[in-house]
């Protein structure tokens, strides 16, 4: 599949009203804010979008709204994953994929499959998917790591699997994937704080949380890293590093929604079991944003 997801993708938040309903006006503002900031593509219904607490109708409405706001200006990726392989496949088949370029599928959570189980899970999805598949490895959320060996085997055996979003935080594992992967297979950072070293090692970009609030600064850093403008990339990375850390202190998307509220883009509202940012974190984020403005 000749798709290139180089640069910065945004794992879009799903904004809510105070009563918990989806705020579609704010969603349009977020899409246009990120695109004005120069990002290369968007991801809807990734984990940052809180899909675990969205109903099926809400998910469909969110995808339609983002598609309408994007207006084909950049590629759009949809998150469809879970711990029931058959259900993931059925969801893909029942979802309107018009305007979608690829599917991002998180590693199964809770049931903790073996490496063989992970291989069979993603192979089954890839074989039935009408769109290219991006594996999402985030053991901090799923309790199971997709090993480098399993990722490489999937990349070599399944032509429809085109990339991995790697958020294991294990640079040795990531280097092993980069060393042994087939030429068509892309490695995408899933960790805002590690994107710079990952790109230097050979990753092609990032699917980012911070780019919801600071798309210009972060995508400038990614482009500088990709073009080996080390001085600019390093300066931007260290300028943003403390802010990135603050965004995840009380979980994600709690921190970035607090930042977006400070910016007047959406409300700082999440759905239970997540809770909104504490006053002390909001103060910290506000202070750090003023320092990087």
pLDDT digits (tens, 9 = 90+) for 213-254: 999 999 999 999 999 999 999 999 999 999 999 999 999 999
Q: Which of these is catalytic: 41, 136, 218, 243?
A: 136
Total domains in the chain come to: 1
Confidence band of 286 (pLDDT split at 50, 70, 90): very high
CATH number for position 11: 3.20.20.70
Least confident residue range of 76-80, 214-218, 262-266, 289-293: 289-293
State the Cα–Cα distance between residues 168 and 180, nearest whole angstrom: 17
Average pLDDT, the chain: 97
56 located within any domain: yes
Q: Which residues pair with 10 in a beta bridge?
A: 42, 208
Q: Which of these is catalytic: 41, 59, 119, 165?
A: 165
Residue 52's closest CA among 96, 113, 117, 106? 106
Estimate to the nearest angstrom the gap between the alpha carbon of 213 and the chain centroid: 14
pLDDT at 293: 79
For the chain, the C-alpha Rg in angstroms (whole number) is: 18
Rounded mean pLDDT, 189-208: 98
277 located within any domain: no
Confidence band of 30 (pLDDT split at 50, 70, 90): very high
> Parallel, antiparallel, or unpaired for β 133-137 and 102-106?
parallel
163 located within any domain: yes
State the Cα–Cα distance between residues 184 and 155, nearest whole angstrom: 9
Rounded mean pLDDT, 21-44: 98
State the Cα–Cα distance between residues 93 and 87, nearest whole angstrom: 10
118 located within any domain: yes
149 located within any domain: yes
Confidence band of 2 (pLDDT split at 50, 70, 90): low
What interhelical angle do 148-157 and 115-128 show, nearest 10?
A: 30
216 located within any domain: yes
State the Cα–Cα distance between residues 41 and 75, nearest whole angstrom: 5
Would you put residue 271 in left (φ > 0), alpha (ψ -120 to 50) or beta?
A: beta
State the Cα–Cα distance between residues 28 and 14, nearest whole angstrom: 10
Catalytic: 165? yes
pLDDT at 140: 95
Catalytic: 41? no
Rounded mean pLDDT, 71-80: 97
145 located within any domain: yes
pLDDT higher than threshold 60 for residue 256: yes
pLDDT higher than threshold 60 for residue 1: no
Range of the domain at 17: 7-229
Write out pLDDT tens, residues 34-67. Answer: 999 999 999 999 999 999 999 999 999 999 999 9
Rounded mean pLDDT, 15-36: 98
Confidence band of 3 (pLDDT split at 50, 70, 90): confident
Extended beta strands in the chain, E state: 7-11, 41-44, 76-79, 102-106, 133-137, 161-166, 186-189, 205-208
pLDDT at 282: 98
pLDDT at 250: 98
pLDDT higher than threshold 80 for residue 112: yes
283 located within any domain: no
């Amino acid at each position: 599949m000749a798709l290139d997801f180089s640069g910065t993708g945004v794992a879009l938040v799903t904004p809510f009203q105070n009563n918990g309903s989806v705020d579609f006006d704010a969603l349009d503002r977020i899409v246009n804010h990120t695109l004005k900031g120069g990002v290369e593509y968007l991801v809807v219904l990734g984990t940052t979008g809180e899909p675990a607490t969205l109903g099926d109708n809400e998910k469909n409405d969110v995808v339609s709204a983002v598609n309408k706001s994007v207006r084909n200006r950049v590629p759009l990726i949809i998150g469809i994953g879970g711990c029931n392989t058959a259900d993931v496949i059925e969801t893909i088949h029942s979802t309107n994929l018009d305007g979608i370029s690829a599917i991002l599928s998180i590693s199964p959570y809770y049931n903790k499959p073996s490496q063989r189980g992970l291989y069979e899970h993603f192979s089954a999805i890839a074989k039935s998917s009408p769109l290219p598949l991006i594996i999402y490895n985030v053991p901090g959320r799923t309790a199971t790591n997709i090993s480098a060996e399993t990722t490489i085997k999937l990349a070599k055996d399944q032509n429809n699997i085109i990339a991995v979003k790697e958020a294991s935080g294990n640079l040795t594992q990531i280097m092993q994937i980069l060393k042994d992967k087939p030429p068509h297979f892309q490695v995408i950072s899933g960790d805002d704080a590690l994107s710079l070293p990952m790109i230097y090692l050979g990753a092609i970009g990032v699917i980012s949380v911070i780019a919801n609030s600071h798309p210009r600064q972060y995508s400038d850093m990614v482009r500088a890293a990709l073009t080996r403008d080390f001085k600019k990339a390093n300066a931007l990375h260290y300028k943003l590093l403390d802010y990135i850390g603050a965004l995840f202190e009380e979980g994600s998307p709690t921190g970035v929604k607090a930042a977006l509220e400070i910016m007047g883009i959406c409300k700082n509202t999440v759905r239970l079991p997540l809770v909104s940012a504490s006053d002390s974190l909001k103060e910290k984020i506000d202070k750090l944003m003023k320092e990087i403005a």
